[in-house]
């Protein structure tokens, strides 16, 4: 019988976006790891990019915590699982502490996670302590852990900030303003960790800076209760799923891979950019990413285009999510791509989709997420329409899901663990 387990844990948030949560979380995680601790990290919300940074910092897979897309039980199960072996758990929040529905504060309360806030201290002195204190006291149900100062001007400035804190808030160190440790961004957020040549140097330098700015405490102990026992039927037993994974196709939740394996599937990987053949498989998955940044390689890889056509002609299931769907269309920004789906894609100047959504497919409902600048003009009929409590005005009905023979395509990124049975059917022939 499973029993509750305790582990130090903290959720890192901020007064607003752009305060340096990711860098602070990565630096703190690495600083603890450098002390010989087993550090496990999570990311609030359905983000793909920040977990890649945190994976570099910890050396371990990073999972998402999201009450909307993933669900409460999924979060409880994952926290309980990593608490078995972790010395400390660190969770990066999303936006400002109280922004969004559900907010980072909602997630912290639901999972019993103490909160540390990262504050951009540029141009700030004793007000630093007042902001930290008020932010953490605004919701009485929160457990305050402490504060980390970012973009500090000097050691003396950091000392002044630290002295402004009330006694009940721990000091988790300071990071001085330094472009050498900043994390670069592009239109979908941070660069992928593998694109930042000196990412290891940046994280390590930030971790050392934190360690040198004070004795970093561990966060409070949290008791994680065992989740309800659930079993996943082996609906994909004996099946091989080949997954596109390279610079252009990289938005893959680790939980999705775990789910496919739990369903009994064997997982293989291939690169639509660099490979000339497809792995032998029963089904194929092209996840999201940045195909628009690699149009030359995609348009010139006629061997993979032919191989995908052969798989399609053989009626093998193909799941194409967001960038994967764009790559299967006729063109992106006017450049011909793989051409299995009628229609053309364009990268627009404004968001075309953003937020958690759910869609009911033939077998049931599954959680998903959308975040893209791409548009898709197509004669294909909409097979299913996602729904969302909050969607941009030009997508009030949520994202479309298209089915073209064996292809299922959408701007949605599906979260398989929210309904493994529905996920399994995405990779089985339709009857």
Question: Known catalytic residue: 322?
Answer: yes
CA–CA dist 14, 172 (Å, integer): 13
Long-range CB contacts (< 8 A, 24+ apart) of 386-392?
A: 386/357, 386/358, 386/359, 386/410, 386/412, 387/357, 387/358, 387/359, 388/355, 388/356, 388/357, 388/358, 389/101, 390/101, 390/355, 391/353, 391/354, 391/355, 391/357, 392/351, 392/352, 392/353, 392/354, 392/355
If DSSP codes are grouped into helix, strand and coil, which group holds residue 310? helix
Q: Which of 169, 200, 162 is nearest to 58 (CA)?
A: 200
Give yes or no for a contact between 255 and 47, defined as CB atoms under 8 angstroms apart: no
Report the chain's C-alpha Rg in angstroms: 22
CA–CA dist 122, 120 (Å, integer): 6
Q: How many CA within 13 A on the CB side of residue 195?
A: 17
* Prior bond of 117 cis (ω within 30°): no
Alpha helices in 249-342 (DSSP H): 254-262, 295-300, 302-313, 323-328
CA 60 to each of CA 181, 192, 259, 263: distance values in angstroms, whole numbers, following the listed order: 21, 16, 18, 23
Ramachandran region, residue 151 (left: φ > 0; alpha: ψ -120 to 50; beta: rest): left
Q: Which two tokens stand for residue 151?
A: 């973009």
Per the residue annotation, which of 7, 259, 322, 345 is the catalytic one? 322
Q: Which of 414, 424, 412 is nearest to 325 (CA)?
A: 412
CA–CA dist 264, 233 (Å, integer): 8
Identify any residues that bridge with 11 across adjacent strands, giving them in sequence order. Answer: 91, 115
CA–CA dist 223, 143 (Å, integer): 13
266-270 and 288-289: which strand pairing? unpaired
Q: Which of 209, 212, 199 is nearest to 178 (CA)?
A: 209
Mind telling me the catalytic residues?
322
């Amino acid at each position: 019988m499973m029993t509750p387990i305790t582990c130090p844990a903290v959720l890192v948030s901020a007064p607003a976006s752009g305060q340096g949560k990711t860098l602070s979380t990565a630096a703190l995680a690495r600083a603890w790891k450098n002390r010989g601790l087993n550090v496990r990290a999570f990311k609030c919300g359905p983000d793909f990019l920040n977990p890649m940074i945190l994976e570099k910092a910890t050396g371990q897979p990073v999972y998402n915590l999201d009450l909307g897309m993933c669900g409460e039980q999924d979060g409880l199960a994952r926290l309980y699982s990593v608490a078995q072996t972790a010395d400390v758990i660190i969770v990066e929040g999303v936006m400002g502490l109280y922004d969004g529905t559900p907010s980072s504060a909602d997630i912290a309360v639901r999972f019993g996670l103490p909160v540390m806030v990262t504050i951009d201290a540029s141009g700030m002195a004793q007000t630093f302590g007042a902001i930290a204190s008020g932010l953490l006291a605004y919701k009485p149900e929160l457990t305050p852990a402490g504060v980390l100062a970012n973009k500090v001007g000097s050691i003396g400035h950091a000392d002044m900030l630290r002295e402004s804190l009330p006694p009940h808030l721990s000091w988790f160190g300071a990071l001085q303003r330094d472009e050498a440790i900043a994390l670069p961004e592009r239109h979908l957020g941070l660069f992928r960790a593998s694109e930042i040549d000196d990412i290891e140097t940046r994280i390590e330098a930030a971790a050392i800076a934190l360690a040198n700015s004070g004795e970093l405490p561990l966060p409070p102990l949290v008791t994680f209760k065992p989740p309800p026992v659930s079993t996943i039927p082996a609906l994909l037993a004996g099946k091989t799923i080949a997954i596109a994974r390279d610079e252009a196709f990289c938005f893959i939740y680790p939980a999705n891979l775990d789910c496919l394996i739990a369903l009994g599937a064997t997982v293989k990987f291939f690169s639509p950019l660099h490979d000339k053949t497809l792995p032998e498989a029963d089904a194929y998955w092209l996840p999201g990413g940045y195909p628009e940044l690699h149009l030359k390689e995609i348009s010139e890889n006629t061997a993979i285009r032919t191989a995908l056509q052969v798989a399609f002609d053989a009626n093998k299931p193909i799941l194409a999510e967001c960038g994967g769907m764009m790559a299967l269309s006729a063109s992106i920004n006017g450049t011909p791509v793989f051409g299995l789906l009628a229609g053309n894609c364009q990268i627009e100047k404004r968001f075309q989709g953003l937020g958690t959504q759910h869609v009911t497919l033939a077998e049931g409902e599954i959680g998903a997420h959308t975040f893209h600048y791409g548009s898709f003009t197509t004669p294909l009929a909409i097979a299913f329409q996602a729904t969302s409590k909050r969607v941009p005005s030009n997508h009030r009905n949520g994202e479309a899901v298209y089915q073209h023979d064996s292809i299922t395509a959408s701007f949605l990124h599906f979260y398989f663990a929210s309904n493994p049975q529905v996920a399994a059917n995405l990779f089985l022939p339709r009857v």
